[in-house]
Amino acid sequence: MQLKVLLILSNKMEKQLEDLKAIREMMEKSSRFLSLSGLSGILAGITATLGAAFAYFFLLRDPAATSFTRIQEIVILMSDALLVLVISIGFGIYFSSKKAHKKDQKLFNKVTMKTLYNLSIPLITGGIISLIFLYRGDVEMVAAITLVFYGLALVNVSKFTFDEIHYLGITEIVLGIAAAIFMHNGILFWTIGFGICHIVYGFVMYKKYDLE
C-alpha cells in the first residue's frame, strides 16, 4: 500500500519535472535566436585574420614599398574588409541554417528578424561613421570605430541569443577603445577582436551548444 502511494508520488514528481523542462524550453525557443552556430564564429575569425594579414603585409607594414595613391590604398583596404564581411556573413548563414535544419526549425522566423534588426542598428551606424572617417582620410580610427560599434551591436543583441555574445561584445568594445588610444596599432587590435576573439568564442560555443 505504502509502496503504491510512493510510486504515485514519484510519478507526479516526474511529471512536474518534465513540465518545468518543457516550460523552460518553450520560453527559450520562443524568445531567443538559438540557431547561431559556433562554427560560423570560428570561420569568421579565420577569414578576418587572413584579411588583416593581407592588409598588413601587402600595404600597412611598409607603405613606401608600394606605389599606390592614398585613394587607391583606401579602396584596397575597403574591398578587403568588404570581402571579409561578405564571406563571414555567408558562413554565418550557411552554418546557422544547417543547425536550424538539424533541429527541425526554420532559420528565418520572428525571433531571427528581431535579432537581426537589433544587431543592424549599431552596426549600420558604425559603418556610416567609419565611412565618414575614411572619407576624411582618417584610416587609423576605422579599426577602433568598427570594433566599438560591433561590440555595442553584440551587447545589444545578446538578450535575444546566447549569453556568451554579451561578453564577446564587451571584449570588442574594450579592444576598440584600446585601438583608439594606441592608434598606430589599430590593425593589431582589429585582428585580435575580429580574428582571435571570434575563433575563441566560436570554439567555446561550438563545444558548449553544437556538440550535443
Nearest residue to 32 (alpha-carbon basis) of 179, 161, 125: 161
- Rule CB under 8 A: which of 54-113 touch other proteins? 106, 109-110
- Please give the C-alpha separations between residue 23 and each of 15, 30, 118, 137, 172, in angstroms, as whole numbers: 12, 11, 26, 54, 34
Identify which of residues 15 and 61 has a Cβ nearer to other proteins in the complex. Answer: 15
Near other proteins in 102-121, by CB under 8 A: 106, 109-110
Q: What is the smallest separation between the CB atom of 23 and other proteins, expressed in angstroms?
A: 4
Question: What are the distances in angstroms from CA 7 to CA 21, 155, 184, 191?
Answer: 21, 48, 71, 60
Supply the minimum distance, in Å, between the C-beta of residue 16 and other proteins: 5
**CA 209 – CA 212 distance, rounded (Å):** 6
Task: Give whichever of 47 and 112 is closer to other proteins, judged by the CB atom.
Answer: 112
What CA–CA distance (Å, rounded) separates 157 from 166? Answer: 8
Say whether residue 131 binds other proteins (CB under 8 A).
Answer: no
How many residues touch other proteins under the rule CB under 8 A: the total is: 18
* Closest CB to other proteins among residues 24, 70: 24
Burial class (CB in 10 A: 0-12, 13-18, 19+), 73: middle
Residue 127 C-beta: closest distance to other proteins, Å? 29
The minimum distance between CB 99 and other proteins, in angstroms, equals 17
Per-residue contact string for residues 4-33; x = within reach of other proteins by CB under 8 A: -----x--xx--xx-xx-xxx-xx-xxx--
Nearer to other proteins, 159 or 208 (CB): 159
Cβ 49 to other proteins, closest distance in Å? 37
Nearer to other proteins, 29 or 101 (CB): 29
Residue 12 or 61 having the CB closest to other proteins: 12
User: Given the rule CB under 8 A, which residues bind other proteins?
Assistant: 9, 12-13, 16-17, 19-20, 22-24, 26-27, 29-31, 106, 109-110
